[in-house]
Homo-oligomer: A and B are copies of this chain.
Amino acid sequence: MKLATLRSGRPDGHLVIVSRDLSRFASAGRIAPSLQAALDEWGRCAPILRAVSDQLNNSEIAGMPFVPDEALAPLPRAYQWIDGSGYMVHLDRVRTLKGSKDTELQDQRPLMYQGGSDSFLSPTASIVVPEDNLAVDFEAEVVVVTSHVPMRATKEDASEAVRLIGICNDVSLRRLVADDLQNGFGFFHAKPATSFGPVFVTPDELGDKWRDNRVHLKVRSHVNSSLYGQPNAGIDMRFDFADLIAEAARTRELGNGTIIGSGTVANAHEEILPIRSNGIGFSCIVEARTMEKIKIGAARTPFLRPGDRVRIEAVDEAGRSMFGAIDQEVVLLSR
């Protein structure tokens, strides 16, 4: 089933069940007031939500038109957002950045950072930046939402903890990355609010596109009208979601509703922008710039500026959007 949260004037919005084709929704308000509430009582709520989802998909109930502009992030705020680094290709490409570590990449355990989870951006919310020169970048990622995970969970436990799957844009202010990392306390100012696709879905909804703890879908990113990338999230994911969850639980338990990101989706290739319609490309701008430096001696793809739009969705072979689209404009903070 597919779940979304509609704007309601309340911070946690109103939980709805969305049809498989993302065209219609039915309220879940009588089952659980919010997605976090449903996750808190998943054993009770999931079967009822699923029954309504089946009725909606079988047109036994009509539902209402689902308008992504009315959606908040599926979890408008969460108790935990951890971003992993599943794709070594991404790390390889960004490590040349000033301020990033030159030490040998960890290939035994995935890197991860604790992200802010107090106010996520909705799928079509503006990316508001306080200054014009922060080298705004997007990062297209796949995410999972977990149940409670005990400290030192096994990889098998971790795999079974996956409740929901979605996509996010881990907005990054590249000019602040070096400061954050040199301070030694990790990402903070360089990682403002993250945005999420309109729906989170249960693993079964993906069929065989969810296997080996990976999402086997292309994650397609456009900047304005240009295709920037469409790597397959199931390829080159060195650390899968079970690895990421187990690593996150190495010294702590994880609360119900923890969101864990894959890291920027990246497949190995030697392309530069612009890519062909069947190219692979990039899920963030800094990777495209790194490749330009290598191939043509200088970075030429600009970071995002106010007025630029970024669009991210995950699609199957037929081009069907699985989680709906993130579609955001960069806007300068007005004083």
CB of A144, distance to nearest CB on chain B (Å):
15
Q: A252-B192, A255-B77 are in contact. Are A101 and B183 (CB under 8 A)?
A: yes
Q: Are B192 and A101 in contact (CB under 8 A)?
A: no
CB of A114, distance to nearest CB on chain B (Å):
4
Q: A118-B255, A118-B258, A192-B251 are in contact. Are A113 and B185 (CB under 8 A)?
A: yes
In the assembly, what is the distance between CA of A193 and CA of B149, in Å?
14
Does A78 belong to the interface (CB within 8 Å)? yes
In the assembly, what is the distance between CA of A183 and CA of B111, in Å?
7
Q: Are A188 and B118 in contact (CB under 8 A)?
A: no
Instruction: Report 24 cross-chain contacts, Cβ distance below 8 Å, ordered by A residue.
Output: A11-B255, A11-B256, A77-B255, A79-B117, A79-B118, A79-B119, A101-B182, A103-B182, A111-B183, A112-B185, A112-B188, A113-B185, A113-B188, A114-B187, A118-B254, A118-B255, A118-B258, A130-B152, A152-B333, A184-B186, A186-B186, A186-B188, A192-B251, A193-B253
Interface residues, chain A, with chain B CB atoms under 8 Å away: 10-11, 40, 77-80, 82, 85, 100-101, 103, 106, 111-119, 128-130, 134, 151-152, 173, 176, 180-190, 192-193, 248, 250-258, 333, 335
Which B residue sits closest to A40, measured CB to CB? B11
Q: Are B130 and A251 in contact (CB under 8 A)?
A: yes
In the assembly, what is the distance between CA of A258 and CA of B10, in Å?
17
Which B residue sits closest to A130, measured CB to CB? B152
In the assembly, what is the distance between CA of A116 and CA of B249, in Å?
11
Q: A79-B79, A101-B182, A182-B101 are in contact. Are A119 and B187 (CB under 8 A)?
A: no
Q: A130-B152, A251-B173 are in contact. Are A185 and B187 (CB under 8 A)?
A: yes
Q: Residues of B contacting A152 with CB < 8 Å?
A: 130, 333, 335
